[in-house]
Structure 1
C-alpha cells in the first residue's frame, strides 16, 4: 500500500518544517503540507475532507503542530479510519528521524516506529544552560 505523509499547522509552520527538512535531508515525494488560516476564506473542514478523500486508498500519516488545536482536532475526527496515524507536536528532530526511517518501515511496524521515535525525539529538547553546565562539570573531573 502506498504511504503519504501530511504536515499540517496553523500558519506556515508545516511548509517551513518541510522546507527545513529538505534543506537538511533532501526532497521527499510522499510528503505534502497544509498551512491553515492564511486567508479569511480558509475552510479547515473542507481542506481536511479533500485530503482524506485524495488519500483514501493510501496509508496516511498526519503530523500536526499542536495537540488539542483546531488543526489536530479536525484530523482527530478521522481516527476510525484504517491505516491512519496522527501525531501532534511537530518538531524538526522528530521529522528528520521519522522521515529518514519511514521508507524502510513496513505498514505493520509504523505504530511501533512512531512511538519509538516520539520517545527518542523528546530527548532532543534541551535547556542548553544546564546541558553546558553539566558538560563543564564533567570535564573538570
Structure 2
C-alpha cells in the first residue's frame, strides 16, 4: 500500500479536488498535487512532478485524463523504468477511497470503487419509488 498520493491534472483541478476531499475527510498531508498550467510545457510539469516525488519512497498517482499531457508524460516515465502506479479518470470518490484505504491500512480497488460511484440518480429514485409501492 502506498503512503502518498499525487494528483495530476490539466489546470488546477487536482488542487481543487484535494480541497474537496479535505472538506469531507479533513486535512490530507499525504496528498500532493501537480497542476499543468496553460502557460507551462511538458518540461515544467515534469520538473514540478519530480520535485514533489524525489523524496517519496512509494507513491500512487491519479491523473485526470487518459491520453492527456500529464498522464502521457508520466506514462513515458513508467516506460523508462519509473516505479509507481498510475491511474486515470480521477474523481472525488477515488480520492476518498484512497484516504479510507490508507486509514484502514488496506489496498484500495480505486478503479472498481470509482466505477461503482457513477450512478444515474433518476433511475435510482425510480427504483426507490417502485420499492415503496411494493410495500
TM-score (norm 2): 0.84
Please give the residue correspondences for 1:1-80 in structure 2 after superposition, counting only pairs within 5 Å. 3-38=3-38, 40=39, 42-52=40-50, 54-56=52-54, 57-79=56-78, 80=81
Other-structure match for 2:130: 137
Other-structure match for 2:82: 81
| Long gaps (5+) in structure 1 | none
Shift of the 3–78 alpha-carbon distance from structure 1 to 2, 3 Å rule, reads farther
RMSD after superposition:
2.0
Q: Check the 8 A contact 2:32/2:52 in 1, yes or no.
A: no
Is 1:128 aligned to 2:121, yes or no?
yes
TM-score (norm 1): 0.81
Size of the aligned set, in residue pairs, is 130
